[in-house]
Structure 1
Amino acid sequence: MSERLIRGVLFDLDGTLADTAPDLGGALNRLRVEHGLAELPAASLRPHTSAGARGLIGAGFGVTPGDERYPLLAERFLALYESALCVETQLFEGMGEVLTRLEQLAIPWGVVTNKASRFTLPLMRELGLHERATSIVSGDSVPAPKPDPASLKLAASQLGVEAAECLYVGDDERDIEAARAAGMSPVVAAFGYLGCARPHAEWGADHTIHHPLELLTLL
């Protein structure tokens, strides 16, 4: 895989391109306070961030999507998050330099996330990236989100490159599964959230990076 010509780079959003955990965790803690519960430490919520509302509500309330309480909790959580989605969120250290270098090399880049577009697009604008990204594919841009490969294939077509010529960088096992299914070269962002399941060394990625700038060595 390392001998592939890389003509496009795609990123997961939460925990890969940007550190969104402070604002997602903040929304969860505001929801807990509304229910008369104490706030949880940010560090304890961080690993659950890539799983979005499902992961954070599970961590904060012990409630799964099959629970009758889940829909209302999720609706309120998302409303709280939407009202303050880019207060403390920022690009991971070095990621800005990576994007600039990709642009200098005329390598188009984009974002493929399971986050709904009502959050993705405003967040990308707040980060100053909306006009720079060649592709922004959200969870509701396709019928099935990751690990289904449809969103990655759509993004590759928007970049104007073959899937086999793309790197996909993500911090969750479903990112690696989706990249593999799409025919892309999967890269683990080990600086991200990494979830709470299997160790990332067992995900079967082609590469692992521990800092965003390491991505440049794969081009």
Structure 2
Amino acid sequence: MLSQAKGVLFDLDGTLLDTAKDLGACLNYLMDKYGFEHVSYEQYRLVASDGVYPLLDLGFAEQLVHFDREQLRQEFLDYYLENIAVHSKPFDGIVELIDAIERQNVPWGVVTNKPAFLTDPLMLQYPEFKQSIINVSGDTLPQRKPDPAPMLLASEALGVASKDIWYFGDAERDIQAGRRADMTTVIAKWGYIKNEQELASWQANYCVAHPLHILAVEDQAKDRPNL
């Protein structure tokens, strides 16, 4: 049961929280405003954690050149901030996993590329996450994932050497950042994975289909099982 972990870190969107429907609602708000057809859940879910610009690219497609991208981004963010946790919720099994981590007195936190003005109010919506030691956002430092600097900052805040920390994420940049910081990396396969065929190339220690599956792992960190 995470027997090797002395600290745990999570990505936010697509790992701790299923935020896709709220992000998609922001995109479709703009679709309505400017007379475009809605983007389906199946389409926007795959780019939900990539940031605003990829979502705008998805919705406006070739028509985006006729708009002010910065204005659209600001309209998106304004709407999102006002509706940040309407549909978002922890993925199934996440609350139980965090409870297990806390019962073992293992410190944990979040490292995300989401900007702090969104990360902080979003995290406050979920009392289950109140024990997070640190929430490192995409603008906390000049560097962001896949750079290891945010990971090392979080490691320092937890008071745990990076080699003793497990990092969960659903994007290649997460695994790259974790590996560069010498952490044990876990692919959150329940998240916004675009192409499962590429996961092996990320070279994570684990690829886990459900948050609670990691609790069955003992001393196999180098075996990289697909659980």
- Which residue number in structure 2 is paired with residue 154 of structure 1? 153
CA distance in structure 1 between the aligned counterparts of 2:17 and 2:66, rounded to whole angstroms: 30
CA distance in structure 2 between the aligned counterparts of 1:181 and 1:39, rounded to whole angstroms: 39
- Which residue number in structure 2 is paired with residue 183 of structure 1? 182
- Which residue number in structure 2 is paired with residue 109 of structure 1? 108
Greater Cα shift, 128-137 or 88-97: 128-137
Q: Secondary structure at the match of 2:192?
A: coil
Indicate whether 1:202 and 2:204 are aligned.
no
Give per-residue Cα distances to partners, 1:174-199, cap 9 Å, x unaligned: 00111011111111001100246972
Percent of paired sites with the same residue: 39
Residue identity opposite 1:19 in structure 2: D
Q: CA deviation at 1:4?
A: 8.4
- CA RMSD between the two structures: 2.3
CA distance in structure 1 between the aligned counterparts of 2:42 and 2:49, rounded to whole angstroms: 14
If the length of structure 1 is used for normalisation, what is the TM-score? 0.92
Greater Cα shift, 197-206 or 53-62: 197-206
Q: 1:116 to 1:196 in 2, by over 3 A?
A: farther
Greater Cα shift, 187-196 or 46-55: 187-196
Which consecutive unaligned segments of at least 5 residues does structure 2 have? 219-227
Q: CA deviation at 1:218?
A: 3.6
- Which residue number in structure 2 is paired with residue 88 of structure 1? 87
Structure of higher CA gyration radius: 2
- Which residue number in structure 1 is paired with residue 38 of structure 2? 39
Which consecutive unaligned segments of at least 5 residues does structure 1 have? none
Q: Secondary structure at the match of 1:62?
A: helix
CA distance in structure 2 between the aligned counterparts of 1:29 and 1:57, rounded to whole angstroms: 10
Q: Secondary structure at the match of 1:50?
A: coil
CA distance in structure 2 between the aligned counterparts of 1:62 and 1:23, rounded to whole angstroms: 20
- Which residue number in structure 1 is paired with residue 191 of structure 2? 192
**1:61-72 paired onto structure 2 within 5 Å:** 61-62=60-61, 69-72=68-71
Q: 1:83 to 1:196 in 2, by over 3 A?
A: farther
Give per-residue Cα distances to partners, 1:50-95, cap 9 Å, x unaligned: 10212211211227x9997321111111111111010010000010
CA distance in structure 1 between the aligned counterparts of 2:31 and 2:49, rounded to whole angstroms: 19
Give per-residue Cα distances to partners, 1:193-217, cap 9 Å, x unaligned: 0246972222111100000101223
> Aligned pairs, how many?
217
Q: CA deviation at 1:145?
A: 0.9
